Structure 1
Amino acid sequence: MADPKLRAAFEAKRFIVSPGVFDMISAKVADGMGFDCLYGTGFGTVASALGVADAGIATYTDMVARMGRVAQGCATPLIADADTGYGGLLNVRETVRGYEAAGITGIQIEDQEVPKKCGHTPGRRVVPADEMVLKIRVAAEARRSRDFLIVARTDARTGLGLEEAIRRGQMLADAGADIIFIESPESEAEMVEIGRRLGRYPLLANNVEGGRTPILSAARLKEIGYAIAIYPAVGFLAAAAALERAYAHLKQHGDSNALPEQESYGFKRICELMGFPDVWDFEKRWAMKE
């Protein structure tokens, strides 16, 4: 079930910094670092699980299985990407129910046409505002607990302009969304305007390294009216860079003996992270009973 700690953090006006997680290693690492929330990135999850672009290829089944496993394996509340809700209104209802039953604490639903695309790539189109409003109303009705948070995202800024994006944000808040996500503002001035117009609601800033939106500090985001910042790409970008360096070293030297210490997490640490000490303790206690 949804973790009430996340709603409590929002109600306490505590600014939330949320790292993107995309598999169980990234989730386990982030889970032990004291964040208020983890963000289950669709881009990273699709990339790590399927090795394809975040372009509407992953299904509800793919995502609820992966994100549910993250939620169940971590103590930190998880907000997970659910694209467009995977279809029409009935699909949205079942998606909300499935994510909540899987132990996820928040669901992100966006107003793109199907197939959707990553929010910082070109060619995105949005459905009519009224269609998205119905999805959020259905999502709000479908959840079993008010602690299950609905993040409503609009991608209208890129194709229809800032004013339309803000108008949709207000409509989504009125429809019952807990967190408003205006995707891809293109300047700090635009972000200030979003905060001025919609800052009475919890606002989400999407910080993508190399994306369309400037990355502001947590202090600045809070100052201009935001409540949460997600960093969906920071983990998988770092992982890909580290893998590239490690594999290049292996290719060049033919072994990993001289791999710089900072490039290796350490086998002992990864065993601890994955729970091997518990396995070894179990085997020790039950060895004579088999």
Structure 2
Amino acid sequence: MKKAARLKSILARREAVLMPGTPNALFANVIENLGYDCAYITGAGVTNMYLGAPDVGLITATEMTEHIAAIADSVQIPLLVDGDTGFGNAINVGRTVRSYERAGAAGIQLEDQVFPKKCGHFNGKGVIPTAEMVQKIRAAVDARADDDFQIVARTDAIAVHGIDEAIERAHRYIEAGADVTFVEAPETVADLRRVTAELPVPQIFNFVYGGKTPPVAHADLRAMGFGAALFANAALQAALLSVTDVLTSLRDEGSLDKVRDRLASFEARQQAVRKDDHDSLEKRYS
């Protein structure tokens, strides 16, 4: 089964599949090695790690596509990829979809924020008119080569207009051809229940540690019928904390003696990058 079809099947189960986010191929390898069914390439994470900048619309389509290609080349699990606002109007969205699909994505998430966008859990967001986003979704659907390539339409309207408007927008996006919708940053469990109860296609739950949406037990998300439970930057935040702790100790102590338990072993590092596979290839072609 092709990766797009696999992602479609995973989301259609509505079992709130755990979908960790990755900003690079190394973390994607770890996700796959741990047995996850799919992963998410996070625009915020790529922006943070590649540019050292906040998620405020700075990453480009070209930079994202290069990351997709590297990650898709490294893992076999299907990848849903953050497409932000599509990097322009409906015409730009079509080109973005074609580029993402060629690079190895199994689906794209597009959002209805104004450009430059902001992290979904930042204040001060704005959204474009519903009709404009409908045309972007239509362009995305028309541009994909594989009908199973998943078009995920995200709305950030809760922050601007409230939950009723967000759900109404999601309905319009489904009518335009979105396979999945993603109502960003609900602030109550009651609103989360409304999302899955009132919208007919699979839904994305997005948990941002420290963000606006409350934590919900995985069993409850499954009971609500979410298609995926997205933890877009859990790996990045874990890595950032560990790097800070280890390098602080190195600065203060002049050695790694006090933080050895925070370091992956040399062997674990090589396993994460699948050095054994490369060794096998070297023997094969020597």
Amino acid at match of 1:135: K
Is residue 223 of structure 2 the alignment partner of residue 223 of structure 1? yes
- Structure 1 residues 77-86 or 20-29, which shifts more? 20-29
C-alpha contact 1:2 1:106 (8 A) present in aligned 2: no
Q: Which runs of 5+ in 2 are unaligned?
A: none
Residues 1:17 and 1:239: Cα distance change in structure 2 (over 3 Å) = same
Q: Deviations over 1:57-88 (max 9, x none)?
A: 11100111112211221111000101100001
Look up the match of 1:239. Answer: 239
Summarize the alignment of residues 87-236 of structure 1 with structure 2, pairs less than 5 Å apart: 87-198=88-199, 200-236=200-236
Amino acid at match of 1:43: A
C-alpha contact 2:16 2:225 (8 A) present in aligned 1: no
Query: Matches of 2:88 and 2:285 in 1, distance apart?
Result: 49
Look up the match of 2:276. Answer: 277
Q: Deviations over 1:177-208 (max 9, x none)?
A: 1111001111111111222211x210111110
Summarize the alignment of residues 7-86 of structure 1 with structure 2, pairs less than 5 Å apart: 7-86=8-87
Query: Matches of 2:283 and 2:151 in 1, distance apart?
Result: 45
TM-score (norm 2): 0.95
C-alpha contact 1:42 1:82 (8 A) present in aligned 2: yes
**TM-aligned CA deviation for residue 9 of structure 1:** 2.2
**TM-aligned CA deviation for residue 106 of structure 1:** 0.8
State the percentage of identical aligned residues. Answer: 36
Q: How many aligned positions are there?
A: 285
C-alpha contact 2:137 2:178 (8 A) present in aligned 1: yes
Query: Matches of 1:112 and 1:87 in 2, distance apart?
Result: 11
- Structure 1 residues 217-226 or 75-84, which shifts more? 217-226
Amino acid at match of 1:236: L
C-alpha contact 2:87 2:96 (8 A) present in aligned 1: yes
C-alpha contact 1:2 1:100 (8 A) present in aligned 2: no
**TM-aligned CA deviation for residue 227 of structure 1:** 1.6
Q: Deviations over 1:25-74 (max 9, x none)?
A: 21111111121210111111111111111111111001111122112211
Query: Matches of 2:206 and 2:136 in 1, distance apart?
Result: 22
Please give the secondary structure, in 2, of the residue aligned with 1:136.
helix
Q: Which runs of 5+ in 1 are unaligned?
A: none
Query: Matches of 1:169 and 1:53 in 2, distance apart?
Result: 27
Query: Matches of 1:286 and 1:152 in 2, distance apart?
Result: 45
Amino acid at match of 1:34: G
